[in-house]
């Protein structure tokens, strides 16, 4: 296939998904979108649609195969799918009882484990890109504040987002030497609070395109404001560090 850049957007709906796709398409990308409700195949607007349920990561090899065959090897992968139910804010762990524990498993899959498995496939795909591919080799996960702040009625959702944040941080260090970049993107208010329903798709499109094409890895936990600018709400403190697995460090009687 030609060197036209390719966006694979996993979990594309009417809000963020649609705006991100439009921005990348206008920037000259071929666009492939994945959701459960999409009519599959090449669309009139040039997008390639794949119907898949990201609750089962077993669909991932087929998705990458189809995109590569029809649009080219993805140069940028965005994971944007979201699926969860609220937990009881007074008793969040009640969800984990036998009658409702399936909610935990599905939230973990769609928002946590499937995106981490998608990262594996993205890494494999990026390695197959021609060496002169100028832009891309970027994976962006749409996050929120839950990897940094626990909200009582979002136990399942928060566990999942945190799982993915861990994977993103690790990959941003481990694959930097191969020119790959990984981001947990999170729009916040100027006070550092979650934007909730006010999340802005147009801004996300611009920020993601900018991140996708940036030559260097920027902060992996990419908290940004409505003006699209990065804002560090942790005063530079890192809460996850990546260290060599063989380095055992014990403090106060336990491995930290």
Binding site for ligand NAP (CB under 6 A): 11-17, 35-37, 53-55, 80-83, 110, 142, 144, 186-187, 194-196, 199
CB of 209 to ligand NAP, least distance (A): 16
Quick one: 54 or 212, whose CB is closer to ligand NAP?
A: 54
Quick one: 115 or 136, whose CB is closer to ligand NAP?
A: 115
Structure tokens at 64: 């990458």
CB of 243 to ligand NAP, least distance (A): 29
Residue nearest to ligand NAP (CB): 13
Structure tokens at 116: 């981490």
Residues 6+ apart with CB under 8 A from 158: 146, 147, 150, 151
Q: How far apart are CA 7 and CA 28, in angstroms?
A: 10
Q: How far apart are CA 200 and CA 196, in angstroms?
A: 10
Quick one: 129 or 207, whose CB is closer to ligand NAP?
A: 207
Quick one: 15 or 70, whose CB is closer to ligand NAP?
A: 15
CB of 133 to ligand NAP, least distance (A): 27
Q: How far apart are CA 109 and CA 126, in angstroms?
A: 23
CB of 201 to ligand NAP, least distance (A): 6
């Amino acid at each position: 296939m030609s060197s036209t850049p390719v966006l694979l957007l996993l979990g594309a709906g009417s809000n963020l998904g649609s705006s991100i796709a439009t921005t990348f398409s206008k920037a000259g990308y071929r666009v492939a979108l994945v959701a459960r409700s999409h009519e599959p195949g090449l669309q009139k607007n040039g997008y390639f649609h794949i119907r898949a349920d990201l609750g089962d990561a077993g669909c991932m090899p087929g998705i990458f195969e189809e995109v590569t065959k029809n649009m080219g090897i993805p140069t940028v992968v965005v994971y944007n799918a979201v699926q969860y139910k609220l937990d009881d804010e007074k008793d969040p762990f009640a969800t984990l009882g036998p009658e409702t524990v399936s909610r935990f498993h599905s939230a973990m899959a769609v928002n946590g484990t499937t995106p981490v498995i998608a990262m594996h496939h993205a890494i494999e795909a990026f390695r197959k890109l021609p060496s002169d591919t100028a832009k891309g080799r970027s994976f962006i996960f749409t996050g929120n504040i839950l990897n940094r702040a626990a909200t009582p009625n979002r136990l399942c959702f928060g566990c999942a987002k945190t799982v993915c944040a861990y994977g993103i941080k690790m990959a941003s260090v481990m694959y930097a030497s191969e020119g790959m970049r990984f981001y947990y993107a999170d729009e916040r208010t100027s006070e550092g609070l979650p934007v909730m329903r006010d999340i802005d798709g147009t801004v996300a499109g611009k920020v993601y395109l900018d991140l996708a094409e940036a030559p260097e890895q920027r902060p992996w936990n990419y908290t940004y404001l409505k003006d699209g600018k990065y804002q560090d709400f942790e005063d530079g403190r890192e809460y996850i560090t990546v260290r060599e697995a063989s380095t055992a460090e014990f403090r106060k009687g336990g491995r930290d």
